[in-house]
């Protein structure tokens, strides 16, 4: 079974991509999804967030929600809004966000490779969210939300993707957030065979974003295999929809922290305890850390620069992450937060919101203190995955995001 393979994608018909393209299903709440889809009858949100077409406040995991998704997908196919390609293809997928450009490949990735840890994970999944994706895939008989994968940069693949993307794209959409999405189908047999061989030579791929979707792909494959007396391993359900980018083109933003209180400490005591561990310097400007082991802190209208000595940074791939350094040296011992997954005193702010987003959370009185972090690198993520370890929660914020609806993988 190849690591990846071409597939006949379900895509927007000519001229319909802008009508269909939607943000990933999990980056907005129901109210935001309803507003985004208002006046857009062909938005893919009607498939990825079908509760927007039902009564407000409905349980998003209710059976009628998944039935509505299937109904809406069928309608979009019947109306010719979505059309399936006649032959298996790869799809070069380029994302442009400001000056940042990354070019990857949409492909069907092997569930067997995922199950055998050749497609490596770095996060735990939540059962409820995993169950939701399984029900969505089964209802649609399709995978519509791509898993964001990374491959170690390979010149042969990188160069072919660059060459293909010199031509006019078949899909070219700039989303509301300003991110440009371009797609080029690759149906040339020689190029398809070359890409298949090149990926087969790679030791591993890495899940960047989409752990619940990839886990759901594995579960759907297992259940369908068990139910299929004539299973061959060649069925579409043995693969899951992915877009795979080279590691050196990835953009990971900082993932910052805000905390509601100082754990019963007054400001002076709190600062004294921090100074016992960090070198602390007040700053007249917001602090955006420039290296690992450096942190910004916003407290009572004042920014501070916190610096750990290099000797305090361990070699373990998880413990040396900046999210771990902050947790192990400050968040847990001083602020008393030992389980950031469940403790409602802490919240997380993606770097896309900027340092002003941290200031606002503190200045309005909602939070007592904010911390800015140096971004996790792709090399650090790969090292954690290679070690079979798990990243701490909210360690990475990838930008730009993939769009839903531009290419889907049918399972029949």
Residues spanned by the domain of 207? 4-251+399-410
Q: Are residues 149 and 10 in the same domain?
A: yes
User: Do 340 and 356 belong together in one domain?
Assistant: yes
Q: Using alpha carbons, list the distances in angstroms from residue 124 to 120, 209, 252, 397.
A: 12, 12, 19, 16
Q: How far apart are CA 334 and CA 278, in angstroms?
A: 12
Same domain, yes or no: 63 and 41: yes
Per-residue pLDDT tens for 6-26? 999 999 999 999 999 999 998
Q: For residue 388, is it within any domain?
A: no
Partner residues linked to 89 by β-bridges: 7
Q: Domains in the chain: how many in total?
A: 2
Coil, strand or helix at 156: helix
* Whether residue 272 sits in one domain with residue 237: no
The whole-model pTM stands at 0.90
Q: What is residue 352's predicted lDDT score, i.e. its pLDDT?
A: 86
Average pLDDT over residues 233-256: 96
Q: What is the pLDDT of residues 133-164, one digit of tens each?
A: 999 999 999 999 999 999 999 999 999 999 99
Same domain, 274 and 179: no
| Residue 29 belongs to a domain | yes
User: In the predicted model, what is the mean pLDDT of residues 401-407?
Assistant: 96
* In a shared domain, residues 93 and 152: yes
Asked if residue 222 and residue 297 are part of one domain, the reply reads: no
> Residue 82 in 3-state DSSP?
strand
CATH code, domain with 370: 3.30.1760
Both 158 and 266 in one domain: the answer is no
pLDDT digits (tens, 9 = 90+) for 317-336: 999 999 999 999 999 999 99
Let me know whether 49 and 195 are in one domain. Answer: yes
Cα–Cα distances in angstroms (integers) from residue 30 to residues 60, 70, 319, in the given order? 9, 18, 36
Average pLDDT, the chain: 96
Among candidate residues 164, 28, 39, 37, the one with its CA nearest the CA of residue 104: 164
């Amino acid at each position: 079974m190849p690591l990846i393979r071409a597939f006949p994608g379900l895509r927007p018909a000519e001229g319909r991509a802008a009508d269909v393209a939607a943000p990933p299903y999990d980056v907005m709440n129901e109210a935001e999804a309803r507003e985004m889809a208002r006046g857009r009858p062909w938005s893919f949100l009607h498939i990825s967030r079908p509760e927007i077409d039902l009564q407000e406040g409905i349980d998003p995991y209710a059976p009628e929600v998944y039935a509505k998704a299937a109904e809406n997908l069928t309608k979009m196919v019947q109306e010719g809004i979505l059309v399936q390609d006649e032959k298996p293809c790869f799809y070069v997928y380029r994302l442009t966000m400001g000056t940042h450009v990354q070019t990857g490949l949409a492909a069907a990735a092997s569930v067997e490779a995922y199950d055998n840890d050749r497609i490596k994970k770095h996060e735990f999944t939540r059962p409820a969210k995993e169950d939701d994706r399984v029900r969505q895939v089964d209802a649609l008989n399709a995978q519509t939300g791509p898993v964001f994968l990374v491959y170690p940069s390979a010149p042969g693949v990188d160069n072919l993707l660059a060459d293909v993307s010199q031509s006019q794209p078949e899909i070219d959409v700039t989303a509301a957030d300003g991110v440009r999405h371009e797609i080029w189908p690759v149906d040339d047999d020689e190029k398809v065979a070359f890409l298949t061989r090149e990926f087969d030579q790679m030791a591993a791929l890495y899940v960047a974003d989409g752990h619940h979707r990839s886990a759901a792909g594995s579960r759907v494959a297992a259940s369908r295999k068990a139910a299929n007396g004539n299973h061959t391993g060649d069925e579409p359900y043995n693969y899951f929809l992915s877009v795979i980018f080279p590691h050196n083109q990835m953009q990971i933003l900082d993932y910052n922290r805000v905390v509601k209180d100082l754990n019963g400490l007054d400001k002076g005591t709190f600062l004294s305890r921090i100074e016992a561990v960090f070198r602390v310097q007040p700053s007249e400007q917001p602090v955006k850390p420039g290296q690992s082991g450096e942190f910004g802190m916003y407290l009572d209208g004042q920014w501070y620069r916190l610096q750990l000595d290099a000797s305090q940074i361990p070699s373990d791939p998880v413990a040396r992450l900046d999210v771990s350094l902050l947790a192990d040296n400050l968040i847990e011992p001083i602020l008393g937060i030992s389980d950031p997954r469940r403790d409602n005193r802490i919240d997380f702010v993606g770097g896309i919101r900027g340092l002003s987003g941290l200031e606002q959370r503190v200045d309005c009185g909602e939070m007592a203190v904010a911390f800015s972090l140096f971004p996790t690198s792709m090399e650090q993520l790969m090292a954690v995955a290679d070690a079979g370890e798990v990243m701490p929660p909210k360690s990475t914020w990838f930008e730009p995001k993939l769009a839903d609806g531009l290419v889907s993988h049918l399972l029949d």
